[in-house]
């Protein structure tokens, strides 16, 4: 195992070396770093050109420029990386440190969300293969996949940004809007849930009625400006979750699982009040929130193990998921509490540019809301494309698994459909997906180039584009090195995960 990892690492370094050499030569030949000076009308332009030639070593052959760069990078081996300087004399290492955080925030969130959404839709479409839902989802997935990012971004800015902000000044739904949403819900939900024609009709009618009542209600509560959940609603939703998840993962007959989930909900309600004042101004910001989350999971595991009886594993799984979702609702409740005041500070919450508002200061919730609202548009755009890939891959890999002999055997044994789908089919279909996730993460860093440009984020992508357009190698090389390293690293992780998921591939 170790020799395998070592071998992979060594080959990774060789790959990175080759890639860096290739990219370096391509970059320095990609344009003219003196272009702007050649068209300048300043009277000392010759002097300026000479200055830049000296500064960027333009008079030296490519191999010696590469060598200068490489010897700076070689310092990494002894802990003193030198990424070089860009043409304005700025240290590229510091630029990377600055830009990596915003790019990673963007890419990480987009990846996580698209994995969740993509896999869920993939499973649903696979289960309902060749249904109208399957066709509709396929249509939209391909549509999103083929959208040019910069164009989609312009549309998103217009609809989700400018129009939403305008609407938010006096947020009201018209009856036409309410009717449209209700109609869409009445068609979509029965398609997902499925069942006999009568059942579908019934679900559709219920959905229609629900939306027709809920939306005017929210409207009259001025929910868009003063949203709230409150402990009662959270508990109610929590109980719903406990029942739903139990039904989905182990069946309602398994009482010990249901009771452990309900216990978790009860404990959640207690902790809602216990942490309420602590969370008004959480010390350490996200640190304490993550800490509380870890405690929540630990408690949920404990509850599942003690109350689960013979179904410990399922009880733990259901408790943990219930607890996590409950925690998310509590967090959402706190964000909603901060929302009205936040709107006073930032009347147009969805901005079209930047990763945070300049000079914005407020408490933890307000600052997080600011960063969050800035993230919505770019994350959505970045997600559109990768959700498409995840959905398609999950679907086909699920279908492949479902048609295997062991699934037929399981069904023949009388195993219920839920267990067949989640335990036998889904787990096996995860194996090829691991590879996709690994590729996708590195790919998204590259894909973020356009998104960053369009949304005015100063991420890695921006560094890359600016560097390339000036034929300024150092920033481009830093980008190449980091995305390259990420690609290699995630592939390695994927290979190792394979071994965990599939006992047959042990090295």
Partner 1 sequence: MKLRKLSAATAILATGALVLSGCTPGGDNDDAEAEETSNGENGGNTDAITAEGQQFTTEPEDTGKADTSDLETMDDEISVSIGETEFISYQGFTPETYSTYNSVVVNRLFDGFGYWGTDNVWYPNEDFGSYEVTSEDPFTVEYTIGEDVSWSDGTPVTVADYVLDWAYQNAELTNSDDEPLFNGISQTYGERVLEGPQGDPEGKTFTIEYTEPFADWEILVGSALPAHVVAEQSDMELDELVTAVREADTEALEPAAEFWNDGWFTDPGEFPDEELIPVTGPYKLDNWQAGESLTITANEEYWGSAPGTERIVYRFVNDGQHVQALENGDLNIARPQATVDTRGQLERLEDDFVLHEGEAATWEHLDFNFNDGAFSDSLELREAFAMCVPRQQIVSNLIEPVNPEASVLNARESLSFEENYEEIVSESYEGTYDEVDVEGAREILEAEDAVGTEVRIGYAGPNPRRTDTVAEIQASCDEAGFEIVDEGSEDFFAPGGALETGDYEVALFAWAGSGQVVSGQNIYSTDRPQNYGGYSNETVDDLFNQLATTEDADEQQEIIIGIEQELWGDLFGIPLYVHPQLSGSDITISNVRDTASQDQIMWNAEQWQRAE
Q: What is the closest distance, in whole angstroms, from the C-beta atom of residue 369 to partner 1 in the complex?
A: 16
**Does residue number 448 form part of the binding site for partner 1 (CB under 8 A)?**
no
Q: What is the closest distance, in whole angstroms, from the C-beta atom of residue 82 to partner 1 in the complex?
A: 13
Which of 32, 226, 281, 341 is in the footprint of partner 1 by CB under 8 A? Answer: 32
**Does residue number 55 form part of the binding site for partner 1 (CB under 8 A)?**
yes
Q: What is the closest distance, in whole angstroms, from the C-beta atom of residue 364 to partner 1 in the complex?
A: 19
**Does residue number 26 form part of the binding site for partner 1 (CB under 8 A)?**
no
**Does residue number 392 form part of the binding site for partner 1 (CB under 8 A)?**
no
Which of 322, 462, 480, 483 is in the footprint of partner 1 by CB under 8 A? Answer: 462
Spatial distance between the Cα atoms of 395 and 389, rounded to a whole number of angstroms = 10
Spatial distance between the Cα atoms of 473 and 258, rounded to a whole number of angstroms = 60
Cβ nearer to partner 1, comparing 158 with 417:
158
Q: Cβ neighbours of residue 505 under 8 Å, at least 6 residues apart?
A: 498, 499
Q: What is the closest distance, in whole angstroms, from the C-beta atom of residue 99 to partner 1 in the complex?
A: 6
**Does residue number 455 form part of the binding site for partner 1 (CB under 8 A)?**
yes
Spatial distance between the Cα atoms of 504 and 177, rounded to a whole number of angstroms = 54
Spatial distance between the Cα atoms of 143 and 435, rounded to a whole number of angstroms = 24
Spatial distance between the Cα atoms of 242 and 464, rounded to a whole number of angstroms = 47
**Does residue number 368 form part of the binding site for partner 1 (CB under 8 A)?**
no
Size of the site for partner 1 (CB under 8 A): 55
Query: What track of x and - describes contact with partner 1 for positions 162 through 181 (by CB under 8 A)?
Result: x--x----------------
Q: What is the closest distance, in whole angstroms, from the C-beta atom of residue 354 to partner 1 in the complex?
A: 5
Instruction: Transcribe 43-56 into DSSP letters.
Output: TTHHHHHHHHHHHH
- Contact present, 168 and 210 (Cβ < 8 Å): no
Running DSSP on this structure, what letter comes out for residue 91? Answer: B
Spatial distance between the Cα atoms of 392 and 404, rounded to a whole number of angstroms = 19
Q: What is the closest distance, in whole angstroms, from the C-beta atom of residue 348 to partner 1 in the complex?
A: 5
Cβ nearer to partner 1, comparing 161 with 268:
161
The count of other CB atoms within 10 Å of the CB of residue 103 is: 27
Q: Name which of residues 68 to 87 contact partner 1 (CB under 8 A).
A: 87
Spatial distance between the Cα atoms of 316 and 322, rounded to a whole number of angstroms = 10
Running DSSP on this structure, what letter comes out for residue 426? Answer: I
Q: What is the closest distance, in whole angstroms, from the C-beta atom of residue 376 to partner 1 in the complex?
A: 13
Spatial distance between the Cα atoms of 39 and 49, rounded to a whole number of angstroms = 11
Which of 17, 47, 63, 167 is in the footprint of partner 1 by CB under 8 A? Answer: 47
Which of 251, 362, 446, 456 is in the footprint of partner 1 by CB under 8 A? Answer: 456
Q: What is the closest distance, in whole angstroms, from the C-beta atom of residue 55 to partner 1 in the complex?
A: 6
Token pair in block for residue 417: 């459909």
Query: What track of x and - describes contact with partner 1 for positions 325 through 364 (by CB under 8 A)?
Result: -----------------------x-xxxxxxx-xx-----
**Does residue number 39 form part of the binding site for partner 1 (CB under 8 A)?**
yes
Q: Cβ neighbours of residue 364 under 8 Å, at least 6 residues apart?
A: 281, 282, 285
Element (H, E) at 12: helix 2-28
**Does residue number 42 form part of the binding site for partner 1 (CB under 8 A)?**
yes
Token pair in block for residue 494: 């994927």
Q: What is the closest distance, in whole angstroms, from the C-beta atom of residue 346 to partner 1 in the complex?
A: 10
**Does residue number 215 form part of the binding site for partner 1 (CB under 8 A)?**
no
Q: Cβ neighbours of residue 331 under 8 Å, at least 6 residues apart?
A: 289
Element (H, E) at 494: helix 473-501
**Does residue number 35 form part of the binding site for partner 1 (CB under 8 A)?**
yes
Rounded to the nearest angstrom, the gap between the alpha carbon of residue 299 and the centroid of all alpha carbons in its chain is 27
Spatial distance between the Cα atoms of 351 and 376, rounded to a whole number of angstroms = 9
Q: What is the closest distance, in whole angstroms, from the C-beta atom of residue 455 to partner 1 in the complex?
A: 8
Instruction: Using CB under 8 A, list all residues that contact partner 1.
Output: 31-32, 34-35, 38-49, 51-52, 55, 87-91, 94-95, 98-99, 102, 154, 157-158, 161-162, 165, 348, 350-356, 358-359, 453-459, 462-463, 466
């Amino acid at each position: 195992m170790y020799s395998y990892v070592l071998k992979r690492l060594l080959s990774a370094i060789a790959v990175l070396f080759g890639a860096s050499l290739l990219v370096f030569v391509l970059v320095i030949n990609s344009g003219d770093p003196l272009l702007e000076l050649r068209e300048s009308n300043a009277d000392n332009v010759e002097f300026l050109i000479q200055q830049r030639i000296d500064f960027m070593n333009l008079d030296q052959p490519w191999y010696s420029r590469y060598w200068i760069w490489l010897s700076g990078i070689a310092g990494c081996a002894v802990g003193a990386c030198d990424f070089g300087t860009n043409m304005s004399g700025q240290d590229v290492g510091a630029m990377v440190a600055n830009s990596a955080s915003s790019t990673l925030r963007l890419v990480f969130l987009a990846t996580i969300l698209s994995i969740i959404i993509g896999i869920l839709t993939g499973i649903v479409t696979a289960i309902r293969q060749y249904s109208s839902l399957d066709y509709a989802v396929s249509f939209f997935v391909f549509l999103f996949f083929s959208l040019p990012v910069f164009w989609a971004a312009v549309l998103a800015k217009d609809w989700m940004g400018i129009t939403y902000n305008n609407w938010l000044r006096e947020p009201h739904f018209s009856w036409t809007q309410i009717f449209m949403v209700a109609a869409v819900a009445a068609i979509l939900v029965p398609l997902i849930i499925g069942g006999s024609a009568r059942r579908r009709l019934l679900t559709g009618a219920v959905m229609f009625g629900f939306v027709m009542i809920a939306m005017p209600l929210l409207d009259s509560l001025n929910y868009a400006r003063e949203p709230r959940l409150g402990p009662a609603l959270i508990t109610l939703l929590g109980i719903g979750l406990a029942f739903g998840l139990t039904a989905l993962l182990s069946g309602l007959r398994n009482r010990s699982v249901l009771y452990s989930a309900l216990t978790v909900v009860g404990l959640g309600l207690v902790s809602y009040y216990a942490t309420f004042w602590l969370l008004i101004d959480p010390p350490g910001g996200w640190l304490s929130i993550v800490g509380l989350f870890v405690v929540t999971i630990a408690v949920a595991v404990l509850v599942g193990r003690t109350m689960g009886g013979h179904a410990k594993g399922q009880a733990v799984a259901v408790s943990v998921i219930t607890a996590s979702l409950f925690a998310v609702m509590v967090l959402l409740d706190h964000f909603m509490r901060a929302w009205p005041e936040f709107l006073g500070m930032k009347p147009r919450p969805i901005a079209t540019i930047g990763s945070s508002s300049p000079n914005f200061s407020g408490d933890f919730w307000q600052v997080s809301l600011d960063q969050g609202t800035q993230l919505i548009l770019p994350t959505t755009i970045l997600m559109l494309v990768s959700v498409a890939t995840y959905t398609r891959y999950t679907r086909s890999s699920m279908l492949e698994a479902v048609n295997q002999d062991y699934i037929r055997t399981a069904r023949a044994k009388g195993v219920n459909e839920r267990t067949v789908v989640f335990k036998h089919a889904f787990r096996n279909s995860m194996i090829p997906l691991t590879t996709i996730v690994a590729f996708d993460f590195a790919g998204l860093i590259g894909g973020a180039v356009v998104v960053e440009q369009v949304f005015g984020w100063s991420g890695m992508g921006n560094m890359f584009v600016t560097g390339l357009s000036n034929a300024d190698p150092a920033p481009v090389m830093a980008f190449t090195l980091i995305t390259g390293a990420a690609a290699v690293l995630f592939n390695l992780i994927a290979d190792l995960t394979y071994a965990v998921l599939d006992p047959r591939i042990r090295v």
